[in-house]
Amino acid sequence: MKKSDNELGMDREINRRDFLSGTSIAIAGAVLGSGNVAAQASDAQADAQTTVPGSPAVDQSPAQETNYPPTRTGMRGNHPGSFEVAHAMRVGATWDNPQETGEEYDLVVVGGGLSGLGAAYYFRKAMPEARILILDNHDDFGGHAKRNEHMVDGDQVIGYGGTEFIEGAFTYEGLELLHDIGLDAEVYDRANEDYNFEARRRGLGRAVLFDKKTFGEDRLVVEEPGSDEPEAWTEWLKKTPLSENTQRDIAKLYLTKEDYFPGLSVEEKIARLRKMSYQDYLLDVVGVHPDVIPFFMRRGTWDHNGAAGIDTLSGWGAYRYSNNFPGLQGLGLGEPPPRDGIPGLKNPFDRLHFPDGNAGVARLLVRWLIPGSLPGNTMNDSVRTRVRYSTLDRPDNDVRIRLNSTVVSVHHRGERARSNAVDVTYVRDGQAHRVRGSTCVMACNNSIIPYLCPELPEDQKEHLHMAVRRPFVIAMVMIRDWKAFERLGVSRIFCPGDYFEYLHLDGYSSRFGDYETSRDPDEATVVRLWGSPIAPGLPVRDQSRAAREEMLDISFETFERGIRDQMARALGEGGFDPARDISAIFVNRWPHGYAGGANDLYDPDWGYDEVPWVLGRKRFGRIAIANSDAAAVSMTQAAFDQAHRAVQELVTDVIRPEFQYPWSERT
């Protein structure tokens, strides 16, 4: 039965920050939809209409500090105040008379994510005396590497609102950065030998939450089999509310050994799969019942970077992630291609998991760039410690990080070919300011660069516009204990019909000094809800655009109600009471999430010299382009690689030649 707002705990005094156009709002009765944007457009409109003025938020966190962004609960990620200026620019707003700050830097970096922080690091390595300014539109640095922190019943609990793992095949320079800032794989491995975190050691498994709207009934079915247990699916499916036909067809997908492309060579099969969505493969080639599709539509969404749901994932892409997408095993295609086929050095940090994910890396980078900003000097002592945000932008710093500052214009002073500086204008608190850089690295997402640099060649702007990042919403919920998970025997729940299609306990071992992830079900911990909104039927990039627009319209109140309701449905039988057990909610919106590359279904087979992100990232005078879009790879390694390349371009092609062959009138 549907729970009332009181039963869900909507009246409980957790933090609620919900600002729309600077006004605190509350939304009565609005509900979170299925994550299917097309189906939800009307819900979003209804939300907008039901907004009424509410009372200002009260911060209940004992650890509160006015300028300590990680403890801000409510809407995080792209929080209110972070994106409005950029969106106004998109529809033609201009800031013509910026205040001159008189500040001059050797490098100005646009964007303080891992790529922007990495660019500052590489620049300082090349020129240790350099003065650098990093500008970011958020109230915290790190971009997707986002720390969420809260005191739950007196215990500090830390979560990751975005990037989790130090992933990717690294170059020497990438690994050197990680060593320099103090990452120590041996120290981590020693402390976390029992890598199989408590939840796994306790044998907690996977489950599926079927929801009433999609499947006719709310039902949690535990002990979901893996793809390596094909025989187990038939019995398991009998426990679900799926129709017999649907059960039969899903079981068949796991059990089949049939070659659905008889007579074709492996190359021909791959060619067919590359131009056919996995959804079409299931419906038209295997011939499953259409009711099978919702079960698979949003499986493994964090894996397939270039796709939204299975309607935009090619059959060949699905084969690569075949642990989630069965039915292709009889085609005789051999081993699936590696997920991360990029050549590189062995990454000793690929298991290292900070409790705040890669925000731990961002914080150590900031400690390296701005001495004294993060007290202490080891990886372990960094985890509990607070960054001193007041130190980030001191005038006597060599490296300054200026937050809440959206860059709106980057252009060469005077004629580009002879220019010796780049003017960078940013808006902060409604006021435009101008700083000057000898050089500039654009470590923001590619799609905004054409608006910031209108002087770029038109074809380069088009290439940059091709980078449409995949949007996500990551909710971090701090709970007082995880006894319900233990009682149900689950740590991860797939929720195919809900806005958040995955709900899971923090499943990794994070023991750093005296901080460790909870190993006792009586203790507080974090639960992550992963939402990948989609708009089935639209081309892949349009799905991302639609989902992005929609997520910015959903209020925190609506998210909160949806989260409480989903957790009650998922965990209620284990005794979970959202009103009692939830201590804090962080909703991290990422409208510009994963960088995405080519998608076989929508893109031509580009040759290396035609690839849009390679053409788009071309240096333009004193402006170089970093960020993970420049590699079209949504990984830490790509963010650092591109930062290194962009800095090298400036150092070797602009700065050094200038000193080797000085033009007399410019010196």
Give whichever of 578 and 612 is closer to ligand FAD, judged by the CB atom: 612
Q: At closest approach, how far in Å is the CB of 444 from ligand FAD?
A: 3
**DSSP strands (E only) in 88-224:** 99-110, 132-135, 147-152, 155-160, 205-210, 219-222
The pairing of beta strand 155-160 with beta strand 219-222: unpaired
Cα dist from 440 to 29, 119, 123, 529, whole Å: 47, 10, 11, 37
Q: Cβ closer to ligand FAD: 273 or 633?
A: 633
Shortest approach of ligand FAD to residue 119 CB, angstroms? 9
- Residue 343 in tokens: 């050549």
| Buried/exposed 448-460: b ≥16 CB within 10 Å, e otherwise | bbbbbbeebeeeb
Nearest residue (CB) to ligand FAD, 240 versus 642: 642
Q: For residue 575, with 0-12 CB atoms within 10 Å meaning exposed, 13-18 middle and 19 or more buried, which class applies?
A: middle
Nearer to ligand FAD, 252 or 589 (CB): 589
- For residue 617, give the nearest of 602, 632, 603, 636 by alpha carbon: 632
Nearer Cβ to ligand FAD (558/634) = 634
What is the rounded CA–CA span in Å between residue 334 and residue 436?
55
Of 246 and 628, nearer to ligand FAD (C-beta) is 628
Minimum distance from residue 50 beta carbon to ligand FAD (Å)? 29
> In 45-56, which positions are buried (b, 16+ CB within 10 angstroms) versus exposed (e)?
eebeebbeeeee
Rounded alpha-carbon distances, angstroms, from residue 57 to 67, 154, 292: 16, 21, 43
Of the pair 360, 578, the CB lying nearest ligand FAD is at 360
Query: What is the DSSP code string of 476-505?
Result: EEEES--HHHHHHTEEEEE-TTSSS-EEEE
**At closest approach, how far in Å is the CB of 24 from ligand FAD?**
23
Count the alpha carbons within 13 Å of 370 in the hemisphere toward its beta carbon: 26
Q: Are 445 and 518 in contact (CB under 8 A)?
A: no
Minimum separation from the CB atom of position 590 to ligand FAD (A): 4
How many Cα atoms are found within 13 Å in the side-chain-facing hemisphere of 586? 31
Separation CA 117–CA 113 (nearest Å): 6
* Nearer Cβ to ligand FAD (135/220): 135
State the nearest-atom distance from the C-beta of 450 to ligand FAD, in Å.
12
For the bound state, the minimum distance from the C-beta of residue 294 to ligand FAD, rounded and expressed in Å, comes to 23
Total count of residues recorded for the chain: 667
Which of 95, 590 has the CB closer to ligand FAD?
590
Query: CB of 208 within 8 A of CB of 224?
Result: yes
- Smallest distance, ligand FAD to C-beta of residue 246, A: 31
Q: Helix (H, G, I), strand (E, B), or coil: what is residue 449?
A: helix
Q: Closest CB to ligand FAD among 84 and 280?
A: 84
Q: What is the rounded end-to-end Cα distance, in angstroms, of the chain?
A: 76
CA dihedral 322, 526, 594, 406 (to 10 degrees): 180
Least separation in angstroms between CB 140 and ligand FAD:
9
Shortest CB 116 distance to ligand FAD, Å: 6
Nearest one of 655, 626, 630, 628 to 643, comparing CA atoms: 626
**Spatial contact of 99 and 125, defined as CB atoms under 8 Å apart:** no
Least separation in angstroms between residue 267's CB and ligand FAD is 32
Query: CB-hemisphere CA count at 13 Å for 190?
Result: 5
Q: How far is the CB of 114 from ligand FAD (least distance, A)?
A: 4
Residues that bind ligand FAD (CB under 6 A): 86, 110-116, 135-138, 143-145, 162-165, 167-168, 406-407, 443-445, 448, 472, 474, 590, 593-594, 627-628, 634-636, 639
Cβ at position 455, least distance to ligand FAD in Å = 16
Helices and strands, counts by H and E, the chain: 25, 22
